[in-house]
């Protein structure tokens, strides 16, 4: 670990040893006010994560990301590939929100909301503490030869980790293929759907690998969000920070001596107890300043507060603070940069709400059959052939669907049946002919407006091209 005043901590990452091999982190079990708050938030989020695919709103799964069938539900609102533009705006809102949030509050998201941190710290790590014990016992166990105790503990831990990974994979699948489908597969028996079973086992393996072995490396080397910190954070961002002014003072940090009158010695309030380091799940020393590895988990705040209490110094040596707050004692200000991001966010949200209200319940697409020109029929009738696709975005069936020409006088004939029914969230596809008297055409390529009716009520309009002979221009 870096000594005071040295910058060599920047040359390596805390989870690699000098030979470049993985240095396993054995974080001490956190305990304190912030850890308790995080536990409550995590349990709430875990309950949400596990229940969201099984909650239905008007028959729609609350959250679903069915990439295979290209169907998405967000907060019970179904989206189709045709709503891709809405999706893009949602993504942009997400990105701007994350930027705004990060500029103001650093990696608060990582410590409090990110599923990786929640599963790692609040599920898998707690099981590890329960089986292996706290930091000291874990270190002893790892150095211990393979005896009965170690084998028993390892097998128990790995088995529980596997079961939880399998559960997470199931929930993940419920988000992907829908909870109804997943439950159907479970009732049918897994061996009737071997490809799904294989996918499930692959997901399980990935989760197991992440939580049993890869762990904090996800945040340090795999997560792109962590890499953005250098760009997004400034000296006004509130992060988990060590108050170096108070911690170091004129004489620097120093071990605590019993009965010393610390303020008169010129020594900083940091008693160099290393508790903030021992508790850190990413293996860093927060006293070296804001670092890419810090996921703002608050464990070091709790650890340091305990120490400050025990030596009768004020708490908050490590706390949520900006660099400006520590250096100049300035309070949080709503900077022009934040105002700019907030304005962009407001515009995007307004745009999304407007588009959601304007969104139709049915999506219609009528396209000329590729490679076909037109056909001239008796009585100067020109005929074009089309394929159509109607997507019902609602959960209600739509009955007696008909097409009518709105822009021209003419007829539309469906190849199969002149009336259609479309199931809720279903689609109807087929072929149709449009016939128009050549005298009604204004050129060799007219734009037609077509109305889609259900029980004689207009539910959607769409346009398509109609080809006619050149001489009728
Ligand atoms: S430095 Fe503190 S807040 Fe950051 S990851 Fe380590 S313990 Fe958590
Ligand atoms: S826990 Fe607090 S007092 Fe102890 S080393 Fe860390 S910053 Fe210093």
| DSSP secondary structure letter of residue 216 | T
| DSSP secondary structure letter of residue 28 | P
For a mutational test of ligand 1's pocket, the pick from 15, 274, 281, i.e. the residue with the most ligand atoms closer than 8 A to its C-beta, is 281
Which run of H or E residues covers position 372? none
Q: Whose CA is nearest to atom 2 of ligand 1?
A: 300
pLDDT in the model for residue 8: 63
**Cα(279) to centroid of ligand 2, in Å?**
11
Residue 56: Cβ-neighbour burial (10 angstroms; 0-12, 13-18, 19+): middle
pTM here is 0.79
Lowest-pLDDT range, 5-9, 21-25, 114-118, 142-146?
Answer: 5-9
Q: Whose CA is nearest to atom 7 of ligand 2?
A: 270
Q: How many residues does the chain have?
A: 473
Which ligand is located closest to the Cα atom of residue 316?
2
**Cα(19) to centroid of ligand 1, in Å?**
24
φ, ψ for residue 363, nearest 5 deg: -115, 125
For a mutational test of ligand 1's pocket, the pick from 223, 300, 307, 316, i.e. the residue with the most ligand atoms closer than 8 A to its C-beta, is 300
* DSSP per position, 262-309: HHHHT--S-----HHHHT-TT---GGG-S-TT-----HHHHHHHHHHH
Q: What is the pLDDT confidence band of residue 1, given thresholds at 50, 70 and 90?
A: very low
Cα 459 from Cα 453, distance rounded (Å): 5
Q: What is the pLDDT confidence band of residue 52, given thresholds at 50, 70 and 90?
A: very high
Cα 82 from Cα 361, distance rounded (Å): 11
Minimum-distance ligand 1 atom for the alpha carbon of 285: 1
Q: 266: number of CA atoms within 13 Å, CB side?
A: 3
**Cα(211) to centroid of ligand 1, in Å?**
18
Judge contact between 465 and 386, C-beta under 8 A.
no
What is the rounded average pLDDT for all residues in the chain? 90
Minimum-distance ligand 2 atom for the alpha carbon of 277: 6
Q: Whose CA is nearest to atom 4 of ligand 2?
A: 273
Which ligand is located closest to the Cα atom of residue 256?
2
For a mutational test of ligand 2's pocket, the pick from 304, 306, 308, i.e. the residue with the most ligand atoms closer than 8 A to its C-beta, is 304
Q: What CATH number is given for 362-467 in this structure?
A: 2.60.40.10
Asked whether the CA dihedral 146, 151, 154, 158 is positive or negative, the reply is positive
Cα 427 from Cα 389, distance rounded (Å): 7
| DSSP secondary structure letter of residue 16 | B
Cα 410 from Cα 428, distance rounded (Å): 23
Which ligand is located closest to the Cα atom of residue 239?
1
* DSSP per position, 392-461: E-SSS-EEEEEEEESSSSEEEEESS-SSEEE-TT-EEEEEEEEEEEGGG-SSSEEEEEEEEEETTEEEEE
- Residues forming a β-bridge with 363: 391
What would the pLDDT profile of 244-266 be if each residue is shown by its tens digit?
999 999 889 999 988 888 888 88
- Collapsing DSSP states into helix, strand and coil, what is residue 363? strand
What would the pLDDT profile of 209-226 be if each residue is shown by its tens digit?
999 999 999 999 899 888
Our CA angle for 227, 230, 234, nearest 5°, is 145
Which ligand is located closest to the Cα atom of residue 28?
1
Instruction: Write down the H helix ranges in 65-177.
Output: 84-105, 108-112, 115-117, 125-132, 135-143, 148-177
Cα 229 from Cα 410, distance rounded (Å): 62
Which residues sit with their C-beta closer than 6 Å to ligand 2? 242, 247, 270-276, 287, 303-304, 307, 317-318
- To the nearest 10 degrees (0 to 180), the angle between helices 148-177 and 179-188 is 120
Q: What is the pLDDT confidence band of residue 11, given thresholds at 50, 70 and 90?
A: low
Q: Whose CA is nearest to atom 4 of ligand 1?
A: 294
Which residues sit with their C-beta closer than 6 Å to ligand 1? 240, 279-282, 284, 286, 294-300
Q: What is the pLDDT confidence band of residue 9, given thresholds at 50, 70 and 90?
A: low
**Cα(327) to centroid of ligand 2, in Å?**
19
Judge contact between 467 and 445, C-beta under 8 A.
yes
User: Cα dist. 242→8, 234, 301 in Å?
Assistant: 18, 16, 9
pLDDT average, residue stretch 308-333: 92
pLDDT average, residue stretch 39-55: 96
What would the pLDDT profile of 374-422 be if each residue is shown by its tens digit?
999 999 999 999 999 898 888 788 999 999 999 999 999 998 876 788 9
pLDDT in the model for residue 358: 80
Minimum-distance ligand 2 atom for the alpha carbon of 300: 1
Which ligand is located closest to the Cα atom of residue 290?
1
- Residues forming a β-bridge with 465: 447
Minimum-distance ligand 1 atom for the alpha carbon of 276: 7
What residue spans define the domains of the chain?
A: 1-143+216-359, 362-467
User: Cα dist. 225→99, 221, 241, 296 in Å?
Assistant: 10, 10, 19, 13
């Amino acid at each position: 670990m870096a000594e005071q005043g040295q910058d060599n901590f920047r040359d390596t990452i805390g989870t690699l040893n000098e030979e470049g091999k993985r240095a396993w982190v054995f974080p001490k079990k956190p305990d304190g006010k912030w850890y308790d708050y995080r536990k409550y938030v995590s349990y709430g989020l875990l309950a949400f994560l596990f229940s969201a695919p099984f909650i239905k709103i008007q028959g729609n799964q609350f959250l679903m990301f069915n990439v295979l069938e290209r169907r998405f539900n967000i907060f019970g609102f179904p989206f189709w590939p045709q709503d891709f533009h809405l999706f893009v705006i949602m993504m942009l809102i997400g990105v701007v929100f994350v930027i705004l949030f990060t500029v103001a509050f650093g990696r608060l998201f990582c410590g409090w909301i990110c599923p990786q941190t929640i599963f790692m710290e609040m599920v898998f790590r707690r099981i590890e503490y329960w089986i292996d014990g706290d930091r000291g016992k874990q270190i002893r166990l790892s150095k211990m030869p393979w005896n009965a105790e170690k084998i028993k503990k390892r097998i128990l831990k790995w088995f529980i980790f596997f079961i939880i990974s399998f559960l997470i994979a199931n929930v993940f699948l419920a988000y992907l293929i829908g909870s109804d489908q997943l439950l159907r597969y479970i009732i049918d028996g897994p061996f009737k759907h071997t490809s799904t079973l294989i996918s499930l086992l692959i997901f399980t393996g990935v989760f197991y690998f992440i939580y049993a072995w890869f762990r904090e490396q996800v945040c340090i080397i795999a997560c792109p969000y962590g890499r953005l910190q250098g760009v997004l954070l400034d000296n006004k961002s509130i992060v988990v920070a060590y108050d170096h002014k108070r911690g170091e003072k004129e004489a620097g940090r120093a071990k605590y001596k019993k009965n010393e009158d610390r303020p008169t010695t010129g020594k900083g309030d940091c008693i160099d107890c290393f508790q903030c380091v021992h508790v850190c799940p990413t293996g860093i020393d927060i006293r070296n300043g804001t670092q890419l590895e810090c996921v703002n988990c608050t464990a070091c705040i709790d650890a340091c507060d305990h120490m400050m209490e025990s030596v009768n110094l004020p708490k908050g040596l490590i706390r949520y603070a900006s660099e400006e707050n520590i250096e100049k004692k300035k309070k949080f200000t709503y900077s022009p940069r934040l105002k700019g991001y907030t304005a962009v966010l407001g515009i995007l949200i307004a745009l999304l709400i407007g588009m959601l209200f304007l969104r139709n319940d049915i999506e219609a697409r009528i396209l000329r059959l590729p490679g076909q020109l037109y056909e001239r029929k008796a009585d100067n009738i020109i005929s074009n052939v089309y394929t159509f696709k109607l997507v019902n975005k609602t959960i209600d069936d739509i009955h007696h669907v008909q097409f009518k020409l709105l822009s021209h006088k003419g007829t539309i004939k469906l190849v199969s049946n002149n009336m259609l029914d479309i199931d809720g969230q279903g689609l109807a596809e087929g072929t149709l002919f449009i016939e128009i008297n050549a005298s009604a055409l204004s050129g060799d390529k007219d734009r037609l407006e077509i109305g889609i009716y259900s029980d004689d009520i207009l539910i959607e309009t769409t346009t398509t091209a109609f080809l006619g002979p050149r001489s009728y221009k």
